[in-house]
Amino acid sequence: MTFLLALLVGALYAGAIYMITRRSLVKLIVGLALLSHAAHLLIFSAGGTKRAAAPLVCEGATPRLDAVADPLPQALILTAIVISFGVLSFSLALLSRAFQITGEEDVDQLRTTEE
Amino acid sequence: MTVRVVLPILIPLAVATACLLAWRWRRLQRVLALTGAGGHLAASLWLLEEVSARGIQVVQVGNWPAPFGITLVADLLAAMMVAVTGLIGAAVAVYSAATVDPRREAFGYYLLLHILLAGVSGSFLTGDLFNLYVWFEVMLIASFVLMALGGERGQIEGAFKYVTINLLSSALFLAAVGLLYGSTGALNMAHLAVHLRDTPSGLSTVLAMLLLAAFGIKAAVFPLFFWLPASYHTPPTAVAALFAGLLTKVGVYALIRVFTLIFVQQPALTHQLILVLAGLTMVTGVLGAVAQDDFRRILSFHIISQIGYMIMGLGLFTPLAVAASVFYVVHHMIVKTNLFLISGLVHRLSGSYDLKSLGGLYSARPLLGVLFLVPALSLAGLPPLSGFFAKLFLVKAGLAGGSGWIVAVALVVSLLTLLSMMKIWGEVFWKSGPANAPESTAPAPLGMWLPAVLLALITLAIGAAVGPVFELAARAAEQLMFPDTYIQAVLGGKT
């Protein structure tokens, strides 16, 4: 399972970097989305994959660490997903605004600030 | 006193909320923003006083004991950075009230300003790596909107580059955090330090490099700096000044924190690499600046070369060198913000940022000329200004550490910085004005002069009272170089 996840994470990173290096603004944003997915899955696999119970422990009982899953990576991913959702929505708004103002969708044309 | 640690984060957040509630009343928002920025400055100085008098202050948020909960830690470095943030925030808030146009104000300018301040203060105060990521994002999203707000073509183009590269850096940071947690089971920075000290491994060096890349992008370190000169000159001057003073310095702070606390196992590799990067950053930044003809673009390139000096001390990795770095960061934040504010004044008075079409300002406005010379010469490192001492300590540390080459680079770069500042001086102030210059537009309001004069006075004061300020930096460096006190304060004896 970890191996499959590792492959998936690698494929996502590769796809993300490929898309980011395209000249189209839309593809750039797709690339950024893939990049955040890759990072989230990476955290998930770093937390360890196993079939285990939810980490709920009765009061006074001693938890068996090998029988429950580590909840922290999932909490981290949840936070990271919310953040990347917000940031991506902002970049989409920026994309639409950029297209309205400049009429360009080609990254190479957005260079008037660098001359 | 836990409240002192929390206030620098809570005040801007509360002000931002209040601004949101007062969305329709622009004047009320302005009053809120100004009082809030004043309050933030007062709270941050209050924190600095406490930390300086009584050592590292720690707050376990929600009373969850470390390393399980989120910890806020104010050591001297963090407290100093928060104090300067308060100062910059207050200066820019006053400047904004005088310069920002009604449309930007109507779309939540002050709200975003305070969210940015909360994000920056939070980044400095947190003791938890994942929490640092969250504060970074708070700061970034506010800066994204501030950069694009107004929707001019240049701004949108600059914002696109800025957003993309910062998202890339955040993704790297996040991946490094995940892998660190996977390999050590810790996120609290003090706890991470303990784990990695006991079991150094090849993986930890890989993660150190990942974090170096992530923070290097934010700090605009060579070769990851291209986004900065492409975007920093596009938003209004108040925003550019705020970014120039605060944002890259958060990256530098994160580098200093991580490479003095967590990744100290292989200084021969990691810190040597940082030192080489410091040299390259200085040189490329200053060479980029020499080729420019736009006031704000020259200043943007100088941010990059100055970042080189800041991480030079970290790369040398001796108590004196790190103290010099801390001193340099404090000096630079004040000076650089001031230079951007002055570029705004020049623009207001003569209608341009382009050196070619400027001129004759010294005969028209001698005071502005003097005001420019203070931070400009301080940036170049002329005595008796703050920049001279910052460079002096770095050079001393470099010679003591036996790295003569970096000292040579630093000195040559500071000459080129002087050259570039003199170019601005010559073109903007000294040469005779253009023949067909438009008559001087409306005089600049007091709100533009006040923060610039104040920051210049502080630069002079740091130069005059270099002893006490450097002593503070040296104590901060001592806490950084011998992190046992930090770890002890956070984990409370369980190591």
Q: Give the largest Cα separation in chain B, rounded.
A: 73
Per-residue pLDDT, averaged over B40-47, amounts to: 95
Residue A10 belongs to domain with CATH number: 1.10.287.3510
Q: CB of A30 within 8 Å of any CB in chain B?
A: no
Residue B200's pLDDT is 65
B101-105 long-range contacts, CB within 8 A, separation 24+:
B101/B150, B101/B236, B102/B26, B103/B150, B104/B149, B104/B150, B104/B236, B105/B26, B105/B29, B105/B30
Mention every residue, 6+ apart, whose C-beta is less than 8 A from residue B215. Answer: B169, B173, B251, B254, B255, B258
A108–chain B Cβ distance below 8 A for any pair: no
Instruction: Write the secondary structure of chain A as one string of H (helix), E (strand) and C (coil).
Output: CHHHHHHHHHHHHHHHHHHHCCCEHHHHHHHHHHHHHHHHHHHHHHCCCCCCECCCCCCCCCCCCCCECCCHHHHHHHHHHHHHHHHHHHHHHHHHHHHHHHCCCEHHHCCHHHC
The B-side interface with A (CB below 8 A) comprises 130, 133-134, 137, 140-141, 144-145, 148, 151, 153-154, 156-161, 163-164, 167-168, 170-171, 174-175, 177-179, 181-183, 187, 229-231, 233-234
Amino acid sitting at position A64: R
Q: Is A115 part of any domain? A: no
Confirm if B176 and B207 have CB atoms less than 8 A apart. yes
Does the global pTM surpass 0.95? no
pLDDT at B461 (0 to 100):
93
- pLDDT > 80? residue A47: no
Distance (Å) from the alpha carbon of A44 to chain B's nearest alpha carbon: 8
Left if phi > 0, otherwise alpha if psi is -120 to 50, otherwise beta: which for A51?
A: beta
Average pLDDT over residues B145-152: 88
**Residue A54: is its pLDDT beyond 80?**
no
- pLDDT tops 60 at residue A77: yes
Calculate the average pLDDT of chain B.
90
State the pLDDT confidence band at B442, using cuts at 50, 70 and 90: low
Residue with the two structure tokens 């001592």: B478
| pLDDT at position B439 over 60 | no
A60 located within any domain: no
Upstream peptide bond of B383 is cis (omega within 30 degrees of 0): no
Contact: B174, A39; criterion CB under 8 Å: yes
Higher-pLDDT residue of B153 and B458 is B458
Say yes or no for a CB contact (<8 Å) between A91 and B163: yes
- With beta carbons under 8 A apart, name residues in chain B contacting A20: 164, 168
- Banded model confidence at residue B437, pLDDT cuts 50, 70, 90: low
Residue (of B264, B256, B302) closest to B283 by Cα position: B302
The number of domains in chain A is 1
Residue A21 is assigned to a structural domain of this protein: yes
CA–CA separation, B242 and B254 (whole Å): 18
Chain B interface disruption, residue of A79, A94, A107, A108, most B CBs within 10 A? A94
Q: What percent of chain B has pLDDT over 90?
A: 59
pLDDT tens by residue, B361-384: 888 788 888 999 999 999 988 888
Q: Please check the confidence at residue A34 and state whether its pLDDT lies above 70.
A: yes
How do residues B174-201 score in pLDDT, each as one tens digit? 999 999 998 888 899 999 998 888 766 7
A77 to chain B, closest Cα gap in Å: 9
The predicted pLDDT at position B495 comes to 43
Are B178 and A101 inside 8 Å of each other by CB? no
Residues paired with B72 in a beta bridge: B59, B126
Cross-chain residue pair B230–A113, CB shorter than 8 Å: yes
Give percent of chain A above pLDDT 70.
Answer: 97
* pLDDT value of position B47: 94
- Hey, are the CB atoms on B175 and A39 less than 8 Å from each other? yes
CB nearest A102 (choices: B156, B174, B231): B156
Give pLDDT tens digits for B45-55.
Answer: 999 999 999 98
Percent of chain B with pLDDT over 70: 97
Across the interface, of B134, B154, B174, the residue whose CB is closest to A113 is B154
pLDDT band at B440 (very low <50, low <70, confident <90, very high): low
Would you say B331 and B411 are in contact if contact means Cβ atoms under 8 Å apart?
no
Which residues in chain A touch residue B174, judged by CB atoms under 8 angstroms apart?
36, 39-40, 43, 80
pLDDT band at residue B308, thresholds of 50, 70 and 90?
very high
**Per-residue pLDDT tens over the stretch B86-125:** 999 999 999 999 888 888 888 889 999 999 999 999 999 9
Average pLDDT score over residue span B23-36 = 92
| Chain B contact for A33 (CB, 8 A cutoff) | no
Residue A58 falls inside a structural domain = no
Inspect the interface and report whether the beta carbons of B178 and A73 lie closer than 8 Å: yes
Nearest neighbour of A83 by CB, restricted to B137, B168, B231: B137
From CA B57, how far away is CA B111, in angstroms rounded? Answer: 29
Question: Average pLDDT for residues B141-161, to the nearest whole number?
Answer: 89
Q: Which residues pair with B128 in a beta bridge?
A: B188
Tell me which chain A residue has its CA closest to the CA of residue B292: A115
**Based on the number of CB atoms within 10 Å of its own CB, is B385 exposed (0-12), middle (13-18) or buried (19 or more)?**
buried
Q: Among A35, A46, A86, whose Cβ lies nearest the Cβ of B168?
A: A35
Using pLDDT thresholds of 50, 70 and 90, give the confidence band for residue B435: low
What per-residue confidence (pLDDT) applies to A82? 94
B170 CB neighbours in chain A (<8 A) are 87
The residue of chain B nearest to residue A9, with distances taken between CA atoms, is: B175
Residues 6 or more apart from B53 whose CB is under 8 A from it?
none
Mean pLDDT (whole number) for B207-221: 93
Please tell me the predicted confidence (pLDDT) of residue B103: 86
Is B299 within 8 Å of B318 (Cβ atoms)?
no
pLDDT at A31 over 70: yes
Q: What is the pLDDT of residue A56?
A: 79
Residue A62 lies in a domain: no
Beta bridge partners, A53, equal: A68
In degrees and rounded to multiples of 5, residue B59 shows phi and psi of: -125, 125
Q: Grade residue B441 by pLDDT with cuts at 50, 70 and 90.
A: low
Q: Tell me if A48 is assigned to some domain.
A: yes
Residue A88 maps to a domain: yes
By residue range, what is the domain housing residue A47?
Answer: 2-53+67-110
DSSP string, B96-112: HHHHS-HHHHHTTHHHH
For residues B233 and B258, which has the higher predicted lDDT (pLDDT)? B258
Q: Do residues B414 and B382 make contact, with C-beta atoms less than 8 angstroms apart?
A: no
